[in-house]
């Protein structure tokens, strides 16, 4: 999933990326590598245990020079961030207002929202301001077991992604 998010978001070296719902930081670390030493990742997380893991992972991978950790829940935790080039939302208590802040206040060029439910996807899409081109994606994840002439798939889980690009993109 991280590779897919990076491919869709396309963070450039030197850019600023806001990650809402950073969790333990596995995506944060990949984003930090993508933006390089001249870039910045602002990792937003509200869960205390996840924050501890996030801080430890950023320290362990020596990426503290390009990762800023913001403690709190979006959209409130986004206050004070002046601008960003891209944003990814993998967890937000209130996705609609979070999308509004990221697009209207921070002016991100590319926004990717990972939505587990159709309702979350719809709230994110409906919060997009004019000028953003929404691109929906849906993926199904599961494991397959080879049965000889056929394959049995189980543990299927779907993931909806909303990529919103400002202007044409």
Distance separating alpha carbons of residues 47 and 53, to the nearest angstrom: 10
- Coil, strand, or helix at residue 9? helix
Instruction: Using DSSP, state whether 32 is helix, strand or coil.
Output: helix
> Region 98-113: what's the mean pLDDT?
97
- Per the CB < 8 A criterion, the answer to whether 153 and 128 are in contact is no
Cβ of 93: how many Cβ atoms within 10 Å? 13
Q: Which of 81, 114, 78 is nearest to 98 (CA)?
A: 78
Q: Is residue 140 part of a domain?
A: no
CA distances, 29 to each of 82, 97, 158 (Å): 22, 26, 24
Average pLDDT over residues 143-147: 88
Tokens read off for 93: 């208590």
The answer to whether the CB of 121 falls within 8 A of the CB of 113 is yes
pTM for the full predicted model: 0.91
- Which pLDDT belongs to residue 158? 82
- Which residues span the domain enclosing 42? 2-130
Question: What is the average pLDDT across 109-120?
Answer: 93
Task: Measure the CA angle with vertex 5, ends 141 and 22; round to 5°.
Answer: 100
Give the chain's domain count.
Answer: 1
Q: Is 105 exposed, middle or buried (0-12, 13-18, 19+ CB in 10 A)?
A: middle
Mean pLDDT of the chain: 94
pLDDT reading at 160 higher than 70: yes
Taking only the tens place, the pLDDT of each residue in 52-81 is 999 999 999 999 999 999 999 999 999 999
**Separation between Cα atoms, residue 165 and residue 154, nearest integer Å:** 34
Distance CA 24, CA 22 (A): 6
Which residue carries 């979006």 as its tokens? Answer: 74
CATH number at residue 82: 3.40.50.150
For residue 85, being part of any structural domain is answered with yes
154 domain-assigned: no
Instruction: Give tens-digit pLDDT for 84-94.
Output: 999 999 988 89
User: What pLDDT is attached to residue 169?
Assistant: 54
For range 103-132, the mean pLDDT: 95
Residue 94 lies in a domain: yes
pLDDT confidence of residue 143: 83
In a domain, 160, yes or no: no
Residue 118 lies in a domain: yes
């Amino acid at each position: 999933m991280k590779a897919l998010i990076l491919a869709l978001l396309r963070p450039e070296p030197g850019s600023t990326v806001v990650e809402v719902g950073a969790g333990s930081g596995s995506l944060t670390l990949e984003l930090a590598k993508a933006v390089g030493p001249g870039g910045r990742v602002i990792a937003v997380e509200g869960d205390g245990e996840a924050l501890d893991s996030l801080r430890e992972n950023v320290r362990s991978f020596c990426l503290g020079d390009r990762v800023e950790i913001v403690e709190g829940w979006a959209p409130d935790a986004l206050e004070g961030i002046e601008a960003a080039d891209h944003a990814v939302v993998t967890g937000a208590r209130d996705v609609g207002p979070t999308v509004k802040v990221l697009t209207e206040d921070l002016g991100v060029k590319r926004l990717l929202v990972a939505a587990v439910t159709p309702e979350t996807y719809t709230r994110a899409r409906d919060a997009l301001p004019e000028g953003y081109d929404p691109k929906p994606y849906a993926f199904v994840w599961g494991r397959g077991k080879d049965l000889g002439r056929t394959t049995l798939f189980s543990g299927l889980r779907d993931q909806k992604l909303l990529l919103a690009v400002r202007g044409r993109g």
